[in-house]
Amino acid sequence: MADKNKGRIKINSELCKGCYLCISVCPKHIIAVSETLNHQGYYPSKSTDSSDDPKCTGCAMCATICPDVAIEVYRD
Ligand code: SF4
Ligand code: SF4
């Protein structure tokens, strides 16, 4: 399963303020709105990437645009 350009993200849901800029920029459309409120009263974004067939390329556009530095990108 060696595949280049694979990444994954971790969203800190407690830092997220629900601006959804990350959702708007992700070229793979793998970020969505969570149905669970965080402690600040926002519905944070969440990754919907599949572990069986991951789509994240690790491009980091989501992390770059996030005003609250809530997203970390890992390249495996
Ligand atoms: S860009 Fe950052 S603050 Fe905005 S929804 Fe995404 S993770 Fe949350
Ligand atoms: S790193 Fe790129 S592909 Fe992966 S979730 Fe963020 S914007 Fe989408």
pLDDT tens digits for range 38-72: 999 999 999 999 989 999 999 999 999 999 999 99
CB 7 within 8 A of CB 74: yes
Q: What average pLDDT does the segment 23-37 reach?
A: 98
Q: What is the pLDDT of residues 56-65, one digit of tens each?
A: 999 999 999 9
Q: Does the pLDDT value for residue 2 go beyond 60?
A: no
Q: Which amino acid is at 55?
A: K
Which residues approach ligand 1 with their CB closer than 6 A?
Answer: 11, 16-22, 44-45, 65-66, 68, 70-71
Task: Tell me what the pLDDT averaged over the chain comes to.
Answer: 95
CB 55 within 8 A of CB 49: yes
* Measured distance CA(19)–CA(30) in Å, rounded: 16
* Measured distance CA(3)–CA(25) in Å, rounded: 23
What is the pTM assigned to this prediction? 0.93
Is any ligand 2 atom within 6 A of the Cβ of residue 7? yes
Q: Quick one: pLDDT at residue 4?
A: 65
Alpha carbon nearest to ligand 2 atom 4, residue: 56
46 phi, psi to nearest 5 deg = -145, 155
Domains identified in the chain and CATH numbers:
7-75 (3.30.70.20)
